[in-house]
Amino acid sequence: MADPRIARQRQSLADGRELIYFDDPDTRLSPHRAPDLRELDPRPVTATMRQDPLTGEWVSIASARQNRAFLPPAHLDPLAPATPENPSEIPDNYDVAVFENKSPSFGPLLEDENAPRGLDDLAEIGIGRTRRSIGRCEVVCFSPEHEGSFASLSVTRARTVIEAWAERTYELSRMPGIQQVFPFENRGEAIGVTLRHPHGQIYSYPYITPRTQRLIASVEEYGPGLFPDILASEQDGERMILRGEHWSAFVPFAARWPIEVHMLPHRQVADFAGTTLEERDELAVLYRRLLRGIDEVYETPTPYIAAWHQAPVAVHQGDIRLMLQLTSPRRAENKLKYLAGSEAAMGAWIGDVTPEQAAASIRDAVERAAGKDDA
């Protein structure tokens, strides 16, 4: 369901990549946008995936990403509206803009060779197996401002971003060869962010990701009530952070990271495309409130990964639920949790703080941040 209050403007960049503007309901921008007049090189050859025969996982080798911008100054921001001095990726002013990544990890089939032939093909194990990294990577610019994050947006702008996530999930899920769509935001240089501009990304994979494969195995073992039962067990417990009419946020029972919060819709919905307008309206308020609270835990903004897990396109739509998993390695004011031997090598996690203590700290921070908003 699309929100008629939010207008869309589509155009092509100079090298053929798609650009979509999403306008706030109260926008003052003209619906007519300047064209991209740059002279660009042809799009790079789509990356190649290699299979790890020890795990069956696929690794995309995207060497073109080595040349991407790294923390440029404001006057050279590639996500800012273009100026004569800065011929950026977005040729005109905008509220929210979505475009295809110039150097994607997963991209279009530019050469008709070695494309994945479905999930059964990708599940086979062999030595030296390769496939094209067919898919799509999009950049979601939250604002024309040079610095900020989702937390710094107005509620209206946050709602426009959520609408973009919903519409792009719907359209990307219908593209040939796409098996899973993943919206996320990386925030902070400690996470590895290379652009300060407030933005997120959407990855569309040609396979079901390893984390989701593990989830599918859990659902098949436990039964289709896994997500309803998780939500019921958390809603009345001491790890709850926020609860609205449609969404609840909580620190999970077995949190891995020093700061980790999950958010679930109260009904079964597989992805953003399936959410109602009312659910998106409330999410714009609650998710923004949560992120402002995460920034209030310490004196300085908190680095995080905000990962929106969605059901695969073709399987388990009825029992895998849309879910935010927000994680931060920050374990103290000036300390980070690094993935050392046990976590990085064996996937065996050791927590540094109890989830109940973390929940109390985050809950207090959310209340402090809300008080500042009300002041």
By annotation, the residues acting in catalysis are 199
CB 116 within 8 A of CB 129: no
Q: 300: which residues sit within 8 A by CB, 6+ positions away?
A: 333
**Beta 58-61 vs 48-51: how paired, if at all?**
antiparallel
E-assigned strand segments in 161-303: 180-187, 199-205, 240-243, 247-250, 259-265
Token code pair at residue 336 = 């980070």
**Beta 335-336 vs 304-309: how paired, if at all?**
unpaired
DSSP character for 42? P
CB 20 within 8 A of CB 97: yes
Element (H, E) at 215: helix 210-222
Q: In whole angstroms, give the CA distance from residue 126 to residue 337.
A: 36
Residue 280 CB neighbour total at 10 angstroms: 20
Q: 175: which residues sit within 8 A by CB, 6+ positions away?
A: 136, 204
Backbone angles phi, psi at 348, to 5 degrees: -105, 105
Kindly list the distances between the CA atom of residue 319 and the CA atoms of 123, 204, 208, 325, in Å, as whole numbers in the listed order: 22, 21, 16, 17
Residue 156 CB neighbour total at 10 angstroms: 15
Bridge partners of 250, per DSSP, are: 240, 262
Element (H, E) at 23: strand 18-23
